[in-house]
Amino acid sequence: MRKTRKGRKAFWHNIKFKYKLTIINENTLEEVVGIHVSKLNGLSVLLSVCTVIFLIAAAIIAFTPLRNYLPGYMNSEVRSQIVANALRADSLQAALERQSRYVMNIQDILSGQVKADTVQSIDSLTDLRAEKLMERSKEEEEFRKQYEEKERYNLTAVTDVRDAAGLIFYRPLRGVMSAGFSPEKRHFGIDLTASPNESILATLDGTVIMSAYTAEWGYVIQIQHPQNFISVYKHCGSLMKHEGEKVKGGEVIALIGQSETEDNQPHLHFELWHKGNPINPEKYVVF
């Protein structure tokens, strides 16, 4: 016990022992400044400086736009700007496609493939190119006839159309389908691959009934639609809507996430349910 007390006294004596810091004039050897400091004073000043720097950094992050770069701090204004930019980008892409078709038709007119007197406006010109690009081949015509004959007496198909009467389904993502609908494998939707941060759109008007993060599916958003339809969007990178919010068909509701590995490309798992049963989204949405 005595050795312990002596050790403590020696420690405190060492940390409280004051040193004199002196600044001397080199020419006159006169003492200009003399400061008495100790190890305890040095530690106190260091902690005070660190505390002040931390408080300044916290204030800068909390009261400046820098906080928007931290996870979970995106405000509604920045979110609305992201949605507006995504919609603007989609509109610009559509305008660019129409302009490209217009230029292609101008080339056809100049080459004599299209008569100038048949063109009335830019809309008719672009529609002409769209129809030309969508011309059916013989193989497609034969397949269409076979499919129509096969599905003519398919009561399930008629029921599906009746249940979705008056609804226009939007494509949730511009991507490539990597996995199809397979209930026997417990895959109740389709997978669409896309580039990171690609916009995910609501397939119909509705109300968000779930917007949360799950351990198995990552960020998930579910929307209740009219006529007992529910759409589910899994593996999202970030969510733009909250539970209870009303959404319009074609509105941006989430963004595609980043790929965890080089081999695993970012993708969206999209499910469509009707009256509690999973249905094949390809019957309602053109991908």
Average pLDDT in the chain: 77
Residue of 154 and 33 predicted with greater confidence: 33
Q: Do 269 and 174 sit in the same domain of this protein?
A: yes
Residues 199/165, Cβ–Cβ less than 8 Å: no
pLDDT tens by residue, 8-25: 777 777 777 777 778 888
Residue 196 pLDDT > 50 = yes
Residue 9: Cβ-neighbour burial (10 angstroms; 0-12, 13-18, 19+): exposed
Query: What is the rounded CA–CA span in Å between residue 200 and residue 224?
Result: 16
Greater confidence (77 vs 222) lies with 222
Please report the pLDDT score of residue 155 as a whole number: 39
**Does 278 fall in a domain?**
yes
Helix-helix angle 122-133:76-111, to 10 degrees: 80
Q: Is residue 99 part of a domain?
A: yes
Give the domain-ending residue among 63, 88, 105.
63
Answer yes or no: is pLDDT of 209 > 80: yes
Evaluate whether residue 15 is within a structural domain: yes
> Which residue range forms the structural domain that includes residue 52?
2-63
Residue 153 banded pLDDT, cuts 50, 70, 90: very low
Whether 171 and 93 share a structural domain: no
CB atoms within 10 A of CB 210: 15
pLDDT at 259 over 70: no
- What CATH number does the domain containing 182 carry? 2.70.70.10
Q: What local confidence, expressed as pLDDT, does residue 233 receive?
A: 94
Q: How confident is the model at residue 276 (pLDDT cuts 50, 70, 90)?
A: confident
221 neighbors 202 (Cβ within 8 angstroms): no
Residues 245 and 177 in one domain: yes
pLDDT over 80 at 114, yes or no: no
pLDDT of residue 237: 87
**Of 63, 87, 112, the domain-final residue:** 63
Q: Is the pLDDT of residue 5 over 90?
A: no
Residues 43 and 80 in one domain: no
Are 177 and 267 within one domain? yes
- Residue 70: what pLDDT? 65
Per the structure, how many domains does the chain have?
Answer: 3
Maximal CA-CA distance, the chain? 114
172 and 223 housed in the same domain: yes
Indicate whether 80 belongs to any domain: yes
Q: Are residues 184 and 210 in the same domain?
A: yes
Confidence of residue 101 (pLDDT cuts 50, 70, 90): confident
Residue 88 covered by a domain: yes
Query: Same domain for 182 and 252?
Result: yes
The verdict on 279 and 176 lying in the same domain is yes
Do 232 and 191 share a domain, yes or no? yes
Query: Does residue 109 fall inside a structural domain?
Result: yes
Within a domain: 45: yes
Q: Per the domain annotation, does 161 fall within a domain?
A: no
Mean pLDDT for the stretch of residues 151-175: 63
Same domain, 36 and 118: no
What is the identity of the amino acid at 16?
K
- Do residues 124 and 229 share a domain? no
